[in-house]
Chains A and B, each alone.
Chain A
Amino acid sequence: MHIPDGYLSPSTCAVLYAASAPCWITALRRTRRRLLARSLPQLALFAAFSFVIMMFNLPLPGGTTGHAVGVGIAAIVLGPWSSLLAISLALTIQALFFGDGGITTLGANCFNMAIAGSFAAWVLYRLISLGAAPESRRRVLAAALAGYGAINFSALLAAIEFGVQPMLFHDAAGAPLYAPYPLHVAIPAMMAGHLTVAGAAEAVMSAGLFGYLRRNEPVLVGLSAPPAESARPLRAPLWGVLALAMLLTPLGILAGGTAWGEWSAADFSDSSARTQMVAASGHMAAPSAAPTGLAHLTNLWTAPMPDYAPRFVKSAAFGYLLSAIFGVGLICAVVWVIFWIAGRFGAGDDGVPVASSTGRRLRAGVVSRTLRGFSRALERTLVQEDTARARGLLQAVDPRVKLIGLLGLVVTAALSHRLAVLAGLLALGVALAVASRLSLLRLVTRVWLVAFSFTALIAAPALFLTPGAPLAHFAGLTITANGAHSALLLLARVEAAVTLGTLLVLTTPWMHLLKALRTLFVPVEVIALLAMTHRYVVLLVETSNAMFESRQSRMVGRLSPRQERRLMIETGGVLMSKTLALGNEVFLAMRARGFRGEVRLIEEFRLRPSDAVAGVGFAAAIVLALSAGR
């Protein structure tokens, strides 16, 4: 569900940023007072927890991957507002640091998973557990359904966002410019995975953690609050329903069919265009006039679409066929990823050696692999500090200039419609990486291959789906020239955006990045949260590694899958309490030394002449790419 850069049109991104912003602001306001006192550690804990949970990608048919989000339990424990902040934060860190999800699409990802997910989970839990006794089984069921409902709601939103792209954004020949699936392919494909695999994972996790917390930390799940507090639940669901309804209004555009204003207002009076619109929207009647606000917003970001007729594939059979192709493709990708991880860590090159107390080597099961994933995350954060402190070109640039410049280039890449421009941006990225003494090998294996494998899966159907002149035949299907072009475009756009984003992260120490964000008027609470969450992620990794080692040293032989699953849920619960306790301590230690949320560095940022040169360089590259890209 992490939509990468380049999959959504800039206007979609803007809309979803705009939809998310009021939620973030309201959430910050509501939590502000307690943020620096009590709730911050909990919030950061859940952000970190969710971050880790989302590292478990499950393959889904439809060209996306799925994962549990942890939003069910987060919403139950934190309430929707803090929960949406926590999950948004996890997503932000993933986008900034791990290239999981894009920067331009961050608003969309947060909207789907953090905001909609949190409210859905919270409302479901409250409604289903209404009036249930603290020890009632209904509460566990409510937790499970909250997780299940929330993740499916998020998935549906993501599917809709994917699905509307080809309808809204394509070139003159009808080749999709962004995500290539129409809704009738995207929704079934996405939901098939979330209604089953990911939904089940989220449900089991929600229920398992809820049960664990109820037994061990009843205060956390609000089951041992003093009676004075019990007035809260009455009011709370109403707010949730209201907020949910408000959050859903942007989707009214879709239901009303008004989103077709993207083409141009004139199209609404053009009879042939109308015919296409009606055909494209499942034979739904088109409105007689375009909504001006939406038309305006669209024009702000992208050139209006030319007046042509979209030709969508309408065969249901083709959808099934696609699912089958993706299934196979995804299985290959997942196997490849697992081998890659196993290859990196199985040999004990830098991972924990997998040996039991008897010295017998154990084959790593799911839990072990999971924990290896943690150490990988840790390694990456540490490596980042290394590269960020190396002497190189980008390291010497003022973080603020770098932040604005590189993010500008990422947006430019997302906006760009020409292969040559994207190739140029990619080349620029590589040149900057070399000048900044980054390992190209690391860039290739960690960034390009990973981005490629996922993008290729999403781009593949465009090869066959897009109507146009036949180019080649493959397994009974025809690859069209337009298809090849749009698939390549998508691939190039993602690679360029991801490379440029990675450069920012790899050449800037974490604290400097925070400080740069701070000087760019990001509120202090957000910075404090980011700082704490970063610390929690590392802490979670350290704790889980220690737990893994101590468990491993007491284990002989291999666990059955059932034992593994039990261990996983238990480990999750213990890990959470343990990190909560440790995290609180760290937070106290920070406060004891005067931390009040403001980031302070020894070296004040000072703009030097060379930074002006860098700024001009970035600006020139952006302007050049933007003008050439149109």
Chain B
Amino acid sequence: MEQSPVNAAQSEAAMAAPLEFEIQDLRFEYDRVPALNGLSLRVREGERISLLGANGSGKSTLLRLMDGLYFAQAGTLRFRGEPLTEDALEDEAFALRFRRQVGLVFQNPDVQLFNPTVFDEVAFGPLQLGWSRQEILDRVMSTLQWIGAEHLKDRAPYRLSGGEKKRVAIASVVVLDPDVLLLDEPTAALDPRSQSQVIELLESWNDGRKTVITATHQLEALSEISGRAVVLRQGRVVADAAPEAVLADTELLEAANLVHVHRHEHGGVAHKHVSPYLRHEHHK
């Protein structure tokens, strides 16, 4: 892959921080549907990155590879210097460490919620990692409190509203207090107030040393949630820069299908609107 055009986003401190993920020329396809086509990316500890791209550009796929759920057909993916492969994860000790350090919130909360109650759901991860009973009870309750879902504790997760499900899904991952948090559209399906609440929560959780990678379509909150924006297109990185720089680059956004450019005429005068993808409102 060609070297990323801009790297302004990365502060000097971040440049000095150790590498969390090192991704080289990654290729992945689902039964002949190519999803990643030689993607390269370096993520340093403490970075907050947003992953942009049109539907189907490969954001979710990338996050799954980074979480060790899928494995690339070609290219390398290293986590803290160690290659993340199927064989590596067969190793009990490594798997335990990795699962503890990296958490993924899925795009679709329905698939993430499979326990009989919300409490069990949040306790699932800690149980798998073999924490002590008291620790689990404390952490689950404090996480539920933090996300504002305490009152849902004994409810069945699949009977919650869309937004409540999303919160529980986030809680079920954050409870592990991972060093790296991968979020696949954490604010989709939330009402505007919940959206900002979730963003604030995630910010409050992040003490500055956590690495957070967020796949999102929401250009409005970009600078709030990240210090670096990576734009994907057809399974490749097409831009990697500060959020402001990416937002200012209309050509790029249009090319990556992130904004909808609407041309029409007002009384004979040609007129052009740029509106964020999916947020376009018709305009008389």
Contacts and interface: CB of A to CB of B under 8 A. Distances in A.
B111 A586 contact: yes
Contacts of A604: 133
Interface stretch (A85-93, A244-252, A396-404, A591-599): A591-599
Interface stretch (B1-9, B76-84, B120-128, B203-211): B120-128
B112 interface: yes
B114 A594 contact: no
B69 A602 contact: no
B95 A594 contact: yes
Contacts of A380: none
B138 to A, nearest CB: 12
B173 interface: yes
Contacts of B31: 219
B260 interface: no
A592 B69 contact: yes
Interface string A381-399: 0100100000000000000
B4 to A, nearest CB: 28
A419 interface: no
Interface in B131-183: 133, 136-137, 156, 158, 172-173, 176
B99 interface: yes
A37 B127 CA distance: 20
A510 B127 contact: no
B215 to A, nearest CB: 15
A593 B133 contact: no
A137 to B, nearest CB: 25
A582 interface: yes
B127 A589 contact: no
A591 B136 CA distance: 19
Contact of B112 (A385, A509, A589, A598): A589
Interface stretch (B34-42, B100-108, B187-195): B100-108
B116 A593 contact: no
Given A600-B130, A602-B123, A592 B136 contact: no
A589 B106 contact: yes
Contacts of A582: 110-111
Contacts of B69: 588, 591-592
B106 A585 contact: yes
B172 A593 contact: yes
Nearest to A599: B127
A590 B120 CA distance: 13
Contacts of A437: none
Contacts of B137: 602
A589 B67 CA distance: 10
A364 interface: no
Contacts of A511: 116, 120
Contacts of A594: 95-96, 99-100, 125, 128-129
A592 B111 contact: no
Nearest to B169: A589
Most interface-central of B106, B110, B114, B120 (chain A CB within 10 A):
B114
B65 to A, nearest CB: 11
A594 B103 CA distance: 10
A542 interface: yes
Nearest to B31: A219
Nearest to A588: B69
Contacts of A37: 86
Interface of A is mostly: helix
A600 B128 contact: yes
B182 to A, nearest CB: 9
A596 B128 contact: yes
Interface string A188-219: 00000000000000000000000000000001
Given A589-B114, A602-B127, A382 B96 contact: no
Nearest to A36: B90
B64 interface: yes
B127 A601 contact: yes
A588 B129 contact: no
Contacts of A588: 64, 69, 106, 111
A138 interface: no
B108 A600 contact: no
A518 interface: no
A535 interface: yes
A389 B95 CA distance: 33
Contacts of B130: 600
Contacts of B125: 593-594
B49 to A, nearest CB: 19
B133 to A, nearest CB: 6
Contacts of B156: 382, 385
B64 A509 contact: no
B166 to A, nearest CB: 14
Contacts of A382: 156
A603 B124 CA distance: 13
Given A37-B86, A592-B69, A592-B104, A600 B127 contact: yes
A595 B126 CA distance: 10
Contacts of A219: 31
Contacts of A598: 128
A602 B120 CA distance: 9
Interface in B51-106: 64, 67, 69, 86, 92, 95-96, 99-100, 103-104, 106
Given A219-B31, A600-B130, A589 B99 contact: no
A217 to B, nearest CB: 8
Contacts of B64: 588
B146 to A, nearest CB: 18
B18 to A, nearest CB: 24
Interface string A504-537: 0000011100000000000000000000000100
A595 B106 CA distance: 16
Nearest to A385: B116
Contact of A592 (B96, B99, B116, B133): B99
Interface in A23-73: 37
A594 B133 CA distance: 17
A509 B116 contact: yes
Interface in B11-28: none
A596 B95 CA distance: 9
B82 to A, nearest CB: 18
Contacts of A600: 127-128, 130
B152 to A, nearest CB: 16
Contacts of A510: 116
Nearest to B128: A594
A589 B111 contact: yes
Contacts of B106: 585, 588-589, 592
A413 B129 CA distance: 42
Contacts of A596: 92, 95, 128
A61 to B, nearest CB: 42
Contacts of B111: 582, 585-586, 588-589
B36 to A, nearest CB: 17
A595 B110 CA distance: 17
Contacts of B124: 590, 593, 595
Listed residue (A37, A511, A598, A600) with the most chain B CB atoms within 10 angstroms of its CB: A600
Interface of B: 31, 64, 67, 69, 86, 92, 95-96, 99-100, 103-104, 106, 108, 110-112, 114, 116, 120, 123-125, 127-130, 133, 136-137, 156, 158, 172-173, 176
8 contacts: A37-B86, A582-B110, A588-B111, A589-B111, A592-B69, A592-B99, A600-B128, A600-B130
6 smallest beta-carbon distances between A and B, as pairs: A594-B128, A585-B111, A593-B125, A594-B99, A600-B127, A589-B112
Interface of A: 37, 219, 382, 385, 509-511, 535, 542, 582, 585-586, 588-596, 598, 600-604
Given A382-B156, A596-B92, A596-B95, 12 more contacts: A385-B156, A588-B64, A589-B114, A592-B103, A593-B124, A594-B95, A594-B99, A594-B129, A600-B127, A602-B123, A602-B127, A602-B136
